[in-house]
Structure formats: C-alpha cells, structure tokens
Amino acid sequence: MEYDGILLGMGNPLLDISAVVDQEFLDKYDIKLNNAILAEEKHVPMYDEMASKYTVEYIAGGATQNSIRVAQWMLQIPGATSYMGSIGKDKFGEEMKKHAKEAGVNVHYYEDESPTGTCGVCVVGGERSLVANLSAANCYKSDHLKKPENWALVEKAKYIYIAGFFLTVSPESIMLVAEHAAAKNKIFSMNLSAPFICEFFKDVQDKVVPYMDYVFGNETEARTFSKVHGWETENVEEIALKISQLPKASGTHKRITVITQGADPVVVAEDGKVKLFPVILLPKEKLVDTNGAGDAFVGGFLSQLVLEKPIEDCVKAGCYAANVIIQRPGCTYPEKPDF
C-alpha cells in the first residue's frame, strides 16, 4: 500500500505560549481549567503578563497540527502526513515551519500579513486552559486550498482530519474537503474540540456532521453537544451512540464516535453498540500537563487507522500517545515511539 500523503490535516497552526500559573491568574482573566476559548479584548494583556511573571515555554501547537505531528511520529513512515493552515511572515511563523520540518510533516502553509497565531496555555495542577489568539490562523481562505499544488494534497490523502476549531475560520474549505471525501469514499473525521464550538458554531458544525465518518471529542464537549441538540441526557455512552446514528451524507462508511474521558474509559460507539476501553493510568506525580493530550490521542488513533488496524488497536495507540504527551510539556514527544 502507498502511504505517501495518506493522512491530511487542516486547521489553525498556533504557537503555544505555555506556563504554570496560579488560580489567581485564572480568576483575573476569567478562564477555567480544561476549557478552550478564543481570546477577547480582556485577554490581550495576558500573554505579556505570562511571559513576565512566569517561566514560559514556546511550543508549536494548534490542535489539528498536533494530531498530525503525533500521527507522523507514531507511523515513522516518511511523507505519510500533510497539513494546511495559515501562519504569519514572522519569527513565530519560521519557528512553526522548523517544527513541522523536524516532525516530518509536509506542510503547505498560507502566509498572511498578520502575525502568527498564538495560544496561551495556562497550567495549574497539571490541568490546562487554552486561550487562542488566532490572528494569521484566522485568515485561511479556500482560495489557498483550491490552488493545484495544495488541492493535490487533498487528492492524495485517503484520510482527512480537521479539528472543530477550524469551523470558526473556513467552513467553506471544510465543506470542499468533506464533499470530496464523500464523493471519493475517503475517511473524513472531525473533533468536537470545545464546548464553545458545539454551542456558538452549532449551525456550521451541524452542516458538516453528515460527512463525518469519525467524530472525536471529550466528555464535556459531548455533553455540550447533547445539550444544544436538546437530547436531555448527560450520559456519555448514550450521547456517543446518538452522534454515531445522526444522518450521513454517504452510506459508504458507518459513523464511529470516539469520546475520551480523561482517566476514565474511552467510549466508542458504532453499529448501535457502545464499547469501553480503559486508559493507561498515570501516577499523579508523573503528570506534567494535559496540554495536547486529546490531540495526541487522535494522532495515535489515526496512525493505526491509516494502517487499517482494528478499532481496539487504534484506541490503544491513542491511549499510548496521550500517556506519553501528558508526561511532557505541551504536545512534545521523544525521538521514537515505543508502541
């Protein structure tokens, strides 16, 4: 089988500005742990304050990009993955290119005049809160996607993954790729990504759901999805099942829903049934931060999916990758996987 460019991701490439902060800092900027939001006016001074008050690390991030980098790392097959998104023509943008190259991901960035997007990662007790300032990432347009050299990546890919965060940027690009995947019987997958996506971008999300062959998310996002769809259930297994049974644009693939629940078992819903897979538990003292854990899970999962492995193996690989990433700052990993 030909693995060249088999997996494609599209999303918001962001440079993570990560620091261990304190509760007072979270309260000051009105941010909650285990949440992800877009920066508002009140968050603007936050980034400088982080850099001056705490020890800050700069780590290449962006949810989809993290997942693709982890998948590439797990696969160890040169040229297996590619990625598109928008960065700025600045030192953060150069940093991003350097990281992507080192990770072995074939990136086709659109380069915008605005600064490269950043994401404040505020860590307290190993848990993280994300505040994204999209900036250049917000400037991605389907014109870039339609250029022959970029659309070639879509043509080549057999599996496509896009985090829900990209719904706020270019739903048009997502629909183009989703429709292509349906027409060509490819596997199209997305992530619920954050409560605010399910809540405030419900209409665009609902438009793409029929095209999703795999839906990823965590328990909080699943419950928010349930609430906004009036399902009146908090039961994650039930919600996963309901999501898997929503109408599909193409009958080629059934939909499979995969919901992570932190240290609790991973919920997989397919064919009207739910399976639970326990995760590898990590002693609290080994936890560095949960930043990138969900992204890493998806990356590990996709790495086995493209190899056409059974779902148990995909989940196992996802759990392995997440376990590695939570023992390190941000979405970083050792040179070789031990999977």
Tell me the C-alpha distance between 65 and 14, whole Å: 9
| CB 82 within 8 Å of CB 6 | no
The predicted structure's pLDDT at residue 225: 98
Catalytic residues: 295
Closest CA to 80 of 159, 148, 186, 169: 159
Closest CA to 315 of 275, 282, 284, 255: 275
The predicted structure's pLDDT at residue 68: 98
Tell me the C-alpha distance between 36 and 197, whole Å: 10
The predicted structure's pLDDT at residue 1: 64
The predicted structure's pLDDT at residue 169: 98
Closest CA to 161 of 105, 216, 80: 216
The predicted structure's pLDDT at residue 329: 83
pLDDT along the chain (339 residues), means of 10: 93 95 97 95 94 92 97 97 98 93 96 97 94 98 98 98 98 98 98 98 98 98 98 98 97 96 96 96 90 95 98 98 92 90
Q: Output the six-digit token pair for 137.
A: 């990432």
Bridge partners (DSSP) of residue 110 are 86
The predicted structure's pLDDT at residue 276: 98
Tell me the C-alpha distance between 231 and 236, whole Å: 12
Instruction: Give 280's Cβ-side CA count (13 Å radius).
Output: 19
The predicted structure's pLDDT at residue 331: 84
Closest CA to 330 of 294, 301, 280: 294
Tell me the C-alpha distance between 130 and 220, whole Å: 15
At a CB cut-off of 8 Å and minimum separation 6, what does 44 contact?
A: none
3-state class of 157 per DSSP?
Answer: coil
CA end-to-end distance (rounded Å), the chain: 21
Q: What is the dihedral of CA 140, 36, 53, 114, to 10 degrees?
A: 10
Helix (H) or strand (E) holding 201: none
